[in-house]
Amino acid sequence: MTDRSAAAPASGKLLERLLDGEPAALAKAITLVENAGAQAAQVLAGIQSRLGHALVIGVTGPPGAGKSTLVSALVGELRRRGKSLGILAVDPSSPLSGGAILGDRIRMAEHACDPEVFVRSLATRGHVGGLSSAAARVVDLMDAAGKDVVIVETVGAGQSDVEVAQLVDVTVVVCAPGLGDEIQAIKAGILEIADVLVVNKADLPNAERTMAQLEGMLSLRDPGAAGVPVIATTATEGRGVAELSDAVEARAEALGGSVRAARTLAQIRLQIADSAAELLRRRLNDSDDEGLHALCRSVQRGELDLENAARRYLSDYLVNKA
């Protein structure tokens, strides 16, 4: 299959068009980065001095809570406030076929023709944690293209899908009433990363009880975590969305400008580790090295265990060719 990295014009020209905010250039740059094409590193190096303009909002929560619908309503509100937007919507890849149905745009039809709203759907491609491995870089590209606000919508998230909090300024966790144990499912995990909590579908029975449960849980947390607002929304009717926008903006201000710029060295080290692991995974998958084929066959025949196969790959094949 043709290498998509060759699909874009010279990266210098692409970079220029990207920084001018041209949608097609942003789209091509995202493809390059997602596929780790040869020019991706150059484009990413070229945007470093242009980062930090965008407010980055993460929206996460269990499947069916209404994340896409809420994002669409939030986009409408932020457009009324004059903001341009980039939206990164992540849906899961099939663990069996590698294929995916990316359907988040179905809920965003209202903005289908708005040139100030750029939506890109990404499949997880085997990455766990609620995002695609390219997500952080795609956020940077949208930032560099001049978007005022970038919204990252995760896959329907479970307890441990907390990765989004590391690459956004404000994390919004969306729950819905009537999902019963869903509150149990999130209380130990993603509840802890919320800067703003939302109870969506607030027109349903039990919404008030869900609000009370969440507020109760927040009250049990250490005082340093105080100040997380709980907001009721009915995204399909736009109710509560202005309050949510206000809360997000207030939270961003309280946190002091760009949180992403204030990453600790430990966080940066973790992100480098993630990127290095991804490069390694990709190199291994794309390699035609005969020694690697031989390793796979050894494991298949039961002559070698996975741990030692991995160690041997690292020492014999990778280090020699680095």
Q: Which residues of the chain form contacts with other proteins (CB under 8 A)? A: 1-4, 6-7, 23-24, 26-28, 30-31, 34-35, 93-94, 96-103, 105-106, 109, 112-113, 115, 118-121, 123, 125, 285-286, 288, 292-293, 296, 300
Cα separation of 113 and 115, whole Å?
A: 6
Minimum CB separation from other proteins for residue 64, in Å?
A: 17
Q: 139: closest CA among 209, 194, 85, 81?
A: 85
Cα separation of 282 and 256, whole Å?
A: 37
Minimum CB separation from other proteins for residue 93, in Å?
A: 8
Minimum CB separation from other proteins for residue 320, in Å?
A: 19
Minimum CB separation from other proteins for residue 92, in Å?
A: 11
Q: 227: closest CA among 262, 187, 200, 195?
A: 195
Minimum CB separation from other proteins for residue 191, in Å?
A: 31
Nearer to other proteins, 93 or 233 (CB): 93
Nearer to other proteins, 109 or 226 (CB): 109
Task: Work out the angle at residue 198's Cα, subtended by the Cα atoms of residues 108 and 100, and round it to the nearest 5 degrees.
Answer: 40
Cα separation of 298 and 303, whole Å?
A: 5
DSSP character at residue 234? B
Nearer to other proteins, 108 or 170 (CB): 108
Task: Work out the angle at residue 174's Cα, subtended by the Cα atoms of residues 173 and 177, and round it to the nearest 5 degrees.
Answer: 140
Minimum CB separation from other proteins for residue 99, in Å?
A: 4
Nearer to other proteins, 74 or 292 (CB): 292
Nearer to other proteins, 77 or 114 (CB): 114
Minimum CB separation from other proteins for residue 122, in Å?
A: 9
Minimum CB separation from other proteins for residue 53, in Å?
A: 20
Nearer to other proteins, 219 or 300 (CB): 300
Nearer to other proteins, 64 or 256 (CB): 64
Residue 75's contacts (CB-CB under 8 Å, 6 or more residues apart) are 85, 87, 108, 110, 111, 117, 151
Cβ-contact 42, 11 below 8 angstroms: yes
What are the distances in angstroms from CA 313 to CA 104, 158, 283, 310? 39, 33, 11, 5
Nearer to other proteins, 113 or 265 (CB): 113
Q: 299: closest CA among 281, 314, 313, 288?
A: 313
What are the distances in angstroms from CA 224 to CA 14, 26, 208, 213? 45, 39, 25, 20
